[in-house]
Chain A
């Protein structure tokens, strides 16, 4: 509580005499500045109990919390924590564990408790009870009972129920997980024949469940089938997560199969990922009508953002279908909705320049588009819209010539990358006309909404709002054409990630309408990599959105063989982009292009 300054007795008396009804005046402020908060008392008490390090004292603190706050929403978490603490630290206290397991089942369900018991200690704890729970769960779970339970919820809340195929997909996953829980118990009870039958059934039902794949790996180890064990553990990691022990075994198996080296592990996982998650649709290029410019397609995305999955995949397909002479696609990662280690100060500043709040957001030639994200299944539809927009913008006149070259300086440690752009600009009047040119109005998804349309993005520029005096700039981006990083949304490969800009995101090298230009920019990948690492280190400690965080990975290695340069001519007033260009840095890439 604040120690507020004492008021004079007279003033106090006056205030006591005049009982002023509280007004309901209120204001809502959205403030990103960190404010110290006072959580509800039960949440504070629970957090304090979780923070107790000594397991015996933590148990006491948790039990005391449950007793003191029996109606708190954190009670179920506390029951989980009590069971976990017992299993992790006191597996010999079987009577206590049994009692706690029965309590925990009420909030966590039989399957999770069975799994926790089976995975505890060196070879499970109270496997008899675990088997009972797992069997009951598996016996209860039929497709009819699953559908009945699910549909009842939708009826209760008057919501449209999911399609039958979605329900079925949910059922097979739930069934596979239930069978996996029982198989896990059987494996710990050395009943491998029963376990094998269940694992096989579960894998047939849903081969993308991490636990099923982990168990398949463990079973293969028992059968001395190291190849299948390795494959299963790798699959488990790619579709979800595996335990520390399984991961250790996986790496052991990999080294054993590769002369003691782990060098090719990532490449093998890449290939397996590609097989598990092939492109959801074949990349195809619509028949190009008129291409008058190279379109700049900017995607503001996030590796923790679920609807960004469809957006990322749609951009992948655009990149595969179109040559860089027609489309330059760039990804600007954001800390939305969660921290993203591929984000950097320039990518964040570029989003701020466009006044974009959410991810994913597509910007084509400087115009924010009325497009949304999607899941993997929706990526094709999204791609088709993006491709159509790209075609539309490509058909607009440009009048700007832009030629780009780039080379990595040989020798030295840094290997500076030099980029050189030359170009020619039309006169001011022509530039104004080009900026004012709008996509055809019959295109359904273009960002040329009426200025007063409520649904229009706030920053979508009405096509007629060209500035009287354009201020043209050229900027360069250092781009890594592919980064391997498995973030929260499961996307493993991130393409065309912008690592750095030559000039601040909202500016560039000034160029003059009617003139030729010749510009140079250089990038030092080693210095940029170091700066990115510092940025991520700082962000973990200080940011105004999340408090202290830990990134999944802080690998800021920039691979020289994957570098490219993008450049574009943009009107810094309207943000309209008039021309773009792209060039790989390495000879190998240039040849591939």
Chain B
């Protein structure tokens, strides 16, 4: 059973009022911010979490971290190589899962907003003092009316590191 032609969003449930500004303007359809980050200094080698939230423009969906083969491109969350932490795993909020009318497969997606929690471990050799993590969020923006190029946003997270 093959699905040779990926078609990227196909959900018939999309609101009709897609914001045309998201079509031609440079503004990406998802705006990211840090929801939670360690309030206290993080010790070298310690485990901690960071949560980020994406505010999704009306009419757009953000795909989940896992999608079926041949379906839409899943959202990918990573850390910038060289940041002073190890990304252990990423959790996502509960996506809506609805059948894709073309592939008859369930597709996971978020509307309105999406939360992701990054489980991290600070590098054992992290230098004490203020530091920054650069979270990379790569996602595909297509709905049933328009496609945007694949997009990577960088969300910077400030934290303090200690021994």
Partner of A166 from B6, B78, B101, B125 at Cβ < 8 Å:
B101
B152 pairs with A35, CB closer than 8 A: yes
Interface members, chain A 285-304 (any B CB < 8 Å) = 302, 304
A24 with B5: in contact, given A35-B152, A307-B145, A456-B20 (CB under 8 Å)? Answer: no
A30 pairs with B151, CB closer than 8 A: yes
B149 pairs with A357, CB closer than 8 A: yes
A458 pairs with B152, CB closer than 8 A: no
B99 to chain A, nearest CB (A): 6
Would you give the 0/1 interface string for A338-382, flagging 1 where the beta carbon is closer than 8 Å to chain B? 100000000000000001111111000000101011110000000
A166 pairs with B140, CB closer than 8 A: no
A186 to chain B, nearest CB (A): 16
Partner of A26 from B6, B10, B34 at Cβ < 8 Å:
B34
A549 to chain B, nearest CB (A): 11
A292 to chain B, nearest CB (A): 27
Would you give the 0/1 interface string for B5-41, flagging 1 where the beta carbon is closer than 8 Å to chain A? 1111110110000111111111010011110111111
Interface members, chain A 1-42 (any B CB < 8 Å) = 1-7, 11-12, 15-16, 19-32, 35-42
A181 with B1: in contact, given A31-B152, A37-B80, A302-B147 (CB under 8 Å)? Answer: yes
Partner of A35 from B33, B77, B136, B155 at Cβ < 8 Å:
B136
Nearest-neighbor residue (CB-CB) of B121 within chain A: A41
Nearest-neighbor residue (CB-CB) of A546 within chain B: B150
Interface contacts (Cβ under 8 Å), in number, total: 262
B161 to chain A, nearest CB (A): 9
Q: Which of A38, A154, A157, A174 has the most CB of B within 10 A?
A: A38
A29 with B159: in contact, given A24-B34, A181-B1, A456-B21 (CB under 8 Å)? Answer: no
CA distance A24 to B40 in the complex (A): 11
Nearest-neighbor residue (CB-CB) of A308 within chain B: B147
B98 at the interface (CB under 8 A from A): yes
B102 to chain A, nearest CB (A): 8
B104 pairs with A23, CB closer than 8 A: no
B146 to chain A, nearest CB (A): 4
A153 pairs with B147, CB closer than 8 A: no
Would you give the 0/1 interface string for A224-244, flagging 1 where the beta carbon is closer than 8 Å to chain B? 000000000000000011000
Nearest-neighbor residue (CB-CB) of B73 within chain A: A337
A39 pairs with B128, CB closer than 8 A: no
B82 pairs with A42, CB closer than 8 A: no
Nearest-neighbor residue (CB-CB) of A153 within chain B: B98
CA distance A22 to B120 in the complex (A): 16
Would you give the 0/1 interface string for B79-112, flagging 1 where the beta carbon is closer than 8 Å to chain A? 1111110111110000011110100101000000
A1 pairs with B90, CB closer than 8 A: no
Residues of A within 8 Å of B78, CB to CB, are 37-40
A153 with B65: in contact, given A7-B129, A15-B129, A211-B1 (CB under 8 Å)? Answer: no
CA distance A20 to B163 in the complex (A): 13
CA distance A230 to B160 in the complex (A): 68
CA distance A240 to B86 in the complex (A): 42
CA distance A241 to B83 in the complex (A): 43
B146 pairs with A307, CB closer than 8 A: yes
Interface members, chain B 107-163 (any A CB < 8 Å) = 118, 123, 125-130, 134, 136, 140-160, 162-163
A533 at the interface (CB under 8 A from B): no
A545 with B150: in contact, given A37-B79, A162-B12 (CB under 8 Å)? Answer: yes
B23 pairs with A241, CB closer than 8 A: no
B29 to chain A, nearest CB (A): 10
A457 pairs with B25, CB closer than 8 A: yes
A488 pairs with B6, CB closer than 8 A: yes
Would you give the 0/1 interface string for B36-56, flagging 1 where the beta carbon is closer than 8 Å to chain A? 111111100000000000000
A19 with B40: in contact, given A28-B32, A37-B81 (CB under 8 Å)? Answer: yes
Residues of B within 8 Å of A6, CB to CB, are 127
B21 pairs with A307, CB closer than 8 A: no
CA distance A13 to B31 in the complex (A): 38
A162 pairs with B1, CB closer than 8 A: no
B65 to chain A, nearest CB (A): 6
CA distance A546 to B76 in the complex (A): 13
CA distance A357 to B28 in the complex (A): 10
A177 pairs with B162, CB closer than 8 A: no
Nearest-neighbor residue (CB-CB) of A119 within chain B: B1
B160 pairs with A21, CB closer than 8 A: yes
Taking A40-B90, A305-B142, A359-B146 as given, write out 5 further A-B residue pairs in contact, using a Cβ cutoff of 8 Å, ordered by the A residue number: A2-B84, A40-B78, A173-B104, A307-B144, A336-B147
A–B pairs, 13, beta carbons within 8 Å = A1-B123, A16-B163, A21-B39, A22-B159, A28-B31, A41-B87, A72-B89, A162-B13, A306-B142, A306-B147, A336-B148, A357-B25, A358-B147
